[in-house]
Structure 1
Amino acid sequence: MSLFGVRLDGTRSGLIKSFLEDNYVCAGDPVAGDLEFSGREDIRSRLAASGAYQGRELEEALSSLDTFVNMMQDGDYVLIADEEWVYLGDLGDYFYDARQESVEGGTAHRRGVTWLKSLPRTAVNSAVQALLASDQEVTRYSGVLPAARMDLWLADSSDVDVETAHSPARVDEATIAEALAVLKAALHSPDAERRERAAAAILHYAK
C-alpha cells in the first residue's frame, strides 16, 4: 500500500468539484495517448515524439505520467487539496478517456477514486503538508504509513472535531448500498490487505 499526492494547479485547480463528484483523478498531458500497457521508456518515447516537451520539461512530464500509470496501483491511496480542504481517496485502475483529449489541462489520463475522508488543510500532519507542497504533479510518499485507518493518520491529532470534516460529495442511497455490498464481498477476499481496507472503510461509514 502506498500514498500519493496529486497537485492541482493552473487549469486543473478548477477540476476538484468534478473529481469529487465523478470519483476520479487525472494527471499528465494527453499528447502521449493511451498508456495502459506502456512502460517508462515507451512513455518517454511518446512524449518526445509529440514535440511538446524537451529537456527538463520532458523529464518532469515523464516522471508524473510514469508514476500515475505504473507506480500507482489499485488499492493505493491518493490525496488532493484545494486552498481549504484535503481529500483522501482509495485509488482504482488507470484508464484513458479519449473523449477528454481536447479538454484544456489534459484530463484523459485517469484513475477511479473512492473518496473516503476530508479534513481542513490546517489540520493535517506535517508529512501530508510536505507531500501536498511537492513541486511534482504526482508524488509518492516515502515515509512509513500506518497499517490501518489511514484517515486517522492524516490529522495532527485523532481528536479532530468530526463536525469540521465534511463529505466530499453527495451520493445517492442506491450507490451507497452498492458500494457497501462490494466492501462486504471484499471482506472475504484471500488478500489480507484488501480485507483490512474493506473493514476499515465499512467501520468508517458506520461511525
Structure 2
Amino acid sequence: MNLFHIQSTIHGTDRTADFLEDNFIGIDWPATGDLEQLSAEEWKEQIGQHYTIPESELSGVIDTLQTFVKIMQDGDHVIVHDDEWVYVGDIGDYFYDDSVSIEEDSICHRRGVTWLGRIPLIEINDKVRALISNASIISTFEYPLSQAQLEPWISRTPETETAVQHSVGVDDGTVQVALDVLRKALQSEDEELRIRAATAILQYAKK
C-alpha cells in the first residue's frame, strides 16, 4: 500500500473543499479524454494536439498522468492539505468524468476517495511534512506507510467510518446517530468490536 500527496490548487483555485465534499481527487489536462486504455505514446499525442507544452516539461506531465492513471491503485492512501489540516483518504479507481466541461480549470481525470479522517497540520511528522512540501502535482511517500504515523487519526472500520467523516462535512445529527451506535457497540460480546468502538470514540473526542 502506497501513500501519495496531491496538490489541490489547480490554476490558482483551491479545490480542497470540492475534493472533500464530492469524495474525489483529480488532476489537470481535461482535453486528452479518457487515458486508461491508451499507451504513454498516445498520451503524448493527445497532449500535443490540445496543449502547448515545452518538450522539456512534457516528460513531467506524462509522469504525472502515469502516476495518477496507472501507478495509483485502489486501496492506496492519499493526503491533501489546507492551512490547518491534512486530510487522509482511501483511493478508488481512475475514471474520466466527461459530464464536466473540458475548460482549462475543469477536473475530468478523477479517482474516487473515501475520506478517513484529518490530522492537525502541526501534528504531522517530519516525513509527512516533507511529502506535502513537495512542489510536484503528485508526490509519493518514500517510506513504509507505517512511518507516516497516520493510524491514530484515522479509522476504516464500518462501525466507525461515519463518525470519522464528521471532519469532512457530515452533519451533527448523523454524527450523534453514529456515536449512539458506537456506545451500543461498547456493550457487545465481541471483544474486537468493543475495542474498535472505544478507539473510534476516543479519536472523535480528540477532535
- With normalisation by structure 2, the TM-score equals 0.71
Q: CA deviation at 1:139?
A: 1.3
The aligned amino acid for 1:97 is: D
1:11 and 1:151 mapped to 2: Cα distance?
Answer: 32
> Do structure 1's residue 54 and structure 2's residue 54 form an aligned pair?
yes
2:28 and 2:36 mapped to 1: Cα distance?
Answer: 13
Per-residue CA distance 1:166-188 (angstroms, 9 max, x = gap): 61121685xx99xxxxxxxxxxx
2:91 and 2:197 mapped to 1: Cα distance?
Answer: 17
Coordinate RMSD, CA, aligned: 3.2
2:74 and 2:148 mapped to 1: Cα distance?
Answer: 17
1:86 and 1:40 mapped to 2: Cα distance?
Answer: 32
Structure showing greater radius of gyration is 2
In structure 2, the CA distance between the partners of 1:206 and 1:170, relative to structure 1 (3 Å rule), is: same
In structure 2, the CA distance between the partners of 1:168 and 1:151, relative to structure 1 (3 Å rule), is: farther
1:152 corresponds in structure 2 to: 152
In structure 2, the CA distance between the partners of 1:9 and 1:148, relative to structure 1 (3 Å rule), is: closer
2:15 corresponds in structure 1 to: 15
> Do structure 1's residue 24 and structure 2's residue 24 form an aligned pair?
yes
Q: Contact conserved, 1:32 with 1:47, CA < 8 A, in 2?
A: yes
In structure 2, the CA distance between the partners of 1:202 and 1:59, relative to structure 1 (3 Å rule), is: farther
> Do structure 1's residue 125 and structure 2's residue 103 form an aligned pair?
no
Helix, strand or coil at the partner of 2:136: coil
Q: How many correspondences in the alignment?
A: 174
1:20 and 1:14 mapped to 2: Cα distance?
Answer: 12
Gaps of 5+ in 1: 155-164, 178-200
In structure 2, the CA distance between the partners of 1:128 and 1:166, relative to structure 1 (3 Å rule), is: farther
In structure 2, the CA distance between the partners of 1:140 and 1:203, relative to structure 1 (3 Å rule), is: farther
